[in-house]
A = this chain, B = another copy of it.
């Protein structure tokens, strides 16, 4: 085994990407644990006002950079043929944030930049729905 591979194995093991003794994956695609999910749907107040919709999306994307958020997704609705009869695709933006635990979500919710985001953008939405869950 080359020194490079040995170091790669050590790195993968130390970062918990593979178990000690496990075969090295050909591509690193671990199923990362998503312990705590904060999912928020936003309905834009004026969906046809492109400037407002863009402002809201940009603000959401910026917010996702806060360091206690493990992973973030700011998406638009998709309705598949398969699930059409039970899908809610009426919202403007879906924001999914992954946290290590409830404490990290609480840090996020009370963070000054989150409070500032609400203050500066709340006139842009007519409704929000939050779905939080823990494994």
CA distance A75 to B70 in the complex (A): 17
With contacts A11-B11, A32-B32 known, is A87 near B3, CB below 8 A?
no
> Which residue, A29, A31, A131, has most C-beta atoms of chain B within 10 A?
A131
Give chain A's interface secondary structure class: mixed
Number of interface residues of A (CB under 8 A): 52
Contact assessment for A75 and B31 in the assembled complex, using a CB-CB cutoff below 8 Å: no
With contacts A70-B29, A130-B86 known, is A78 near B96, CB below 8 A?
no
Binding site for B on A (CB under 8 A): 3-4, 7-8, 10-11, 15, 28-29, 31-32, 34-37, 39, 41, 69-80, 82-83, 86-89, 91, 94, 96, 98, 102, 105-106, 109-110, 128-135
